Structure 1
Amino acid sequence: MPASPCNSILVYVGLDAVGDGLIKLPFIRALRAAFPKARITWMSGKGPTVFEDLLAPLVTGLIDEILPFTRIGERPLELVGRRPLPGRSFDLIIDTQRRGLTTLVLKRIRHGRFISATAGFLFSDGKPADTTRPPAMIGQLMQLVEAAAGRTVTETSPLPRDPAIEAEAERLLPAGPRYVGLAPGAGGRWKCWPLERYIALAAGLKDTVPVFLLGPAEAEDWAATIRAALPQALLPLQDAAKLTPMLTIALGRRLAAAVANDSGTGHMLGAADIPLVSLFGPTAAHKFAPHTRRAAILRAQDFGGEAMEAIPLDAVEKALLPLLL
């Protein structure tokens, strides 16, 4: 069981790019729910963290302090001499990586309890009930929360909401219609289900307004095609004053359900806690699927292929319709 009280927590990560940060949001929300009164310090050792800048608004109130790119955990000489973070101590340290050297360096920081999955929790003061390593990063992180809390943590703290951004989302998607989100883009076109199938999916939906969530590059290539095929469709991000992850999440909360590829937008929709159909081809769904309470995951491999084109339109329709009930 965790020490009582737990007033200070240090979470160590190697670094956080945008995709990493979005995947880690459920972990941060679960950790805050498990330790609502603790001061949480987020430390990146080997690179920057997007929670210091781009995604900082998403963790306001969830993370209290950022120590970016400290270079702690890189060198064997850190095992001797002065302790890392001299003058600091924490009731709990959570090590999110598994490199033995880094774990041993982190254990030298003054602490009450230490949680780490390195070497099958060999160096950890607590373990989850099942120490089998989950394939998904978020599953591995949730194991650490369980080990730290001494129980399975099912609740999550809400993401912060900016009133100005919520008002902008309401302006872009006013109350009244039933909206269905469609996010046809991804970091690479090889991760994208064909645009014409997204359009056909939207055309077949009844009593809903299709909402296409496009990044700037995708809009340049696809916006005209979507508007010509679906005059009733909305492209709110193209009408927004400023594109931010918080706005995409705020728009997501106004959707009845959504369909997305393996993408940053997919993880933002997952953070909105809405019903979501996630489409996967070359990338591994068991590793990268968004964390949301109601989800349907379709893989190209389930339909005899590797490319996204293998996922048939009717399968996506069948997965989406129950989520709209």
Structure 2
Amino acid sequence: MTDLVRAQAPVVMGVLNVTPDSFSDGGRYADFTAAVAHGVRLVADGAHLVDIGGESTRPGADRVDAETEAARVLPVIRELAAAGVVVSIDTSRARVAEAALAAGAAVVNDVSGGLADPDMARVVRDAGCPWVLMHWRGHSRGMRELARYTDVVTDVRAELAQRVDAALTAGVPADRIVVDPGLGFAKTAEHNWQLTARLPELLDLGFPLLFGASRKSYLGRLLADADGVPRPTAGREAATVATSLLAVAAGAWGVRVHDVLGTVDALAVWRAGGRPRLVTDRAAGQRAGGELAAGERAGGERAGGKLAGGIQTEGDR
């Protein structure tokens, strides 16, 4: 799995929630047969790995016990792993992660970045598997109250650096670590847009970055109708593809999405077009205050002698 972490091409992580209360598809794949079929479909659509979660982490969600979480995910992991599907386990519990790895999972995707369960570092270290460390400040029930930052990008970067340092100190090899800014987790819509606009500052940490905006509520608010009613989750796919493509063009290692096929198609266009990269000026991004996404300024406009939000192809570098 080190090769996956070091992948040059963008990695597409398909979402498979085997929960009754996920914000996007709660209940659709709670049935074992439906879950396995969907996991196989995600791979057929082009996913490099399937991220299986048994506990909803939507804002305000209540926790389930470890036994319930494990009972939801383990049979699906075993079946998909036996079929050759690369599986990641979406959990913040060390005991669930350990059981999932024993069942065939190859990656741990921890929304708490190791904060929720101090034993997670040991599990990951001993397994030698990749570990996605997401920025997190608290469980779903109270995360809205934790969305307070001096500068969200600077603060998230510093807090992610702390989680990386803790993982390294615990003996997790650097080449097993992936970071995730945690869009929507103790973040307002404006925080999410600032993180998107200034993604290169997070990439400065020097670790592969996973970007997960798929179907999130801030996209629904952006696409609200004339009465201010947010766009339902089913209508957020084009916006998800757009945010994912922007993240990849800014340098993200991978994207976590529900609609794999749409994202894979967009990435095929990106590759055919020369793999263009966004070139952002950090000061320009800070002055924009996150209101303008990277690349939104005119390509020829210059700020401080550098292109602010310009675009270049692979051959231009």
Give the TM-score normalised by the residue count of structure 1: 0.32
The structure with more helix, counted as a fraction of residues:
2
Larger radius of gyration: 1
Give the TM-score normalised by the residue count of structure 2: 0.33
